[in-house]
Homo-oligomer: A and B are copies of this chain.
Amino acid sequence: MKTILRTGLALAAALVIAAPAAAAGKTMAEVLEASKPTDWRTLDPENTVYLELGSGRVVIELAPQFAPKHVENVRALVRGKYFDGLTIVRSQDNFVVQWADPADADHKKPLGAAKKTLEPEFERRAAGLKFIALPDPDTYAPQTGFVDGFPAARDKADGAAWPVHCYAMVGAGRDNGVETGPGTEIYVVSGHAPRQLDRNVALFGRVVYGMEWLAVMPRGPAPMGFYTKAEDRVPIREIRVAADVPADQRTRLELLRTDTQTFTDLIEARRNRQDEWYKHQAGRIDVCNVPLPVRLVPGEKTGGN
């Protein structure tokens, strides 16, 4: 077997699918191959948002279990067509991509049915969440894990739980006031997990498909990656709630449930890699390094692009 880091190009396709297992455990490919149909879930169209760019569709799963008011407000903004025709305003290397209305820096634009301020939803009570804990230590939180497919953390000492800023997580940018992030400026983590933001801002979703379209946005030349010229800002064609999109135009995805034995097996396969390439087993894993498998529903084509 060749490697993930160097390989004959022609062999690349075979590598991911047919990686042989060592005796001691399974590879991720083998874990997924052994998964049952019930290990997978589909997205709730009411909790799914499509960001349509010229390059492709970005699919965002909303997280009402963590930020119900922000999810509701973003849905209202989307349905009020707030974002349609706006642009990506910022791409900061190894940090975030962000969209907003560059002509509304003072936030005076009417928001229709959406609210202008929202109470902070930076964390919530851990009670009531099905928290799948990771066994390994984390730099930032007493415990990390997964809730309904979202990377998360909790602190038994104060009873709080919160989503964590892993790659592809989606949040509501705010000013200094904690109520000033109603979802009109949305950022997506596009670099190494900026965990210092945890518990400081409302994460309300995660990009589950099409992250590559956001990740390659040219970095803006101004501080913090802002674009300085209108022509550098990539346009947003529209953002829609999936429920409002005709069924045959939806991107039909299946996501591995994180509350399954298959996901637990996957975590173990990644903590101790069985691929022949690995000579040193990490024996541990960071919450933001756990893959969250997504696949297109077999036989379906993607909607949009």
Contacts and interface: CB of A to CB of B under 8 A. Distances in A.
A233 to B, nearest CB: 10
Contacts of A180: 6
Contacts of A192: 166-167, 191-193, 286, 288-289
Given A5-B174, A139-B284, A195-B286, 8 more contacts: A7-B175, A9-B105, A139-B285, A166-B192, A175-B277, A200-B280, A215-B219, A216-B217
Contact of A8 (B2, B98, B106, B196): B106
Contact of A200 (B93, B106, B191, B278): B278
Contact of A198 (B195, B222, B282): B282
Interface in A4-39: 4-13, 15-17
**Assembly stoichiometry (copies):** 2
Contacts of A288: 192
A145 to B, nearest CB: 13
Contacts of A215: 93-94, 215-216, 219
Contact of A187 (B5, B185, B284): B5
Query: Which 6 residue pairs across A and B have the least CB separation, nearest first?
Result: A6-B173, A8-B105, A5-B173, A199-B280, A212-B219, A16-B223
Contacts of A175: 2-3, 6-7, 277
Contacts of A139: 136-139, 284-286
A270 B211 contact: no
B94 A211 contact: yes
A226 interface: yes
Interface in A174-210: 174-176, 178, 180-181, 185, 187, 191-201
Contacts of A138: 137, 139
Chain A: number of interface residues, binned into ranges = 35 or more
A202 to B, nearest CB: 11
B286 A176 contact: no
Given A2-B175, A180-B6, A223-B15, A282 B211 contact: no
A15 B224 contact: yes
Contacts of A224: 4, 7, 12, 15-16
B137 A100 contact: no
A187 B3 CA distance: 13
B273 A173 contact: no
A283 to B, nearest CB: 9
Nearest to A2: B175
A276 interface: yes
A284 B8 contact: no
A196 to B, nearest CB: 5
A5 B286 contact: no
Contacts of A96: 5
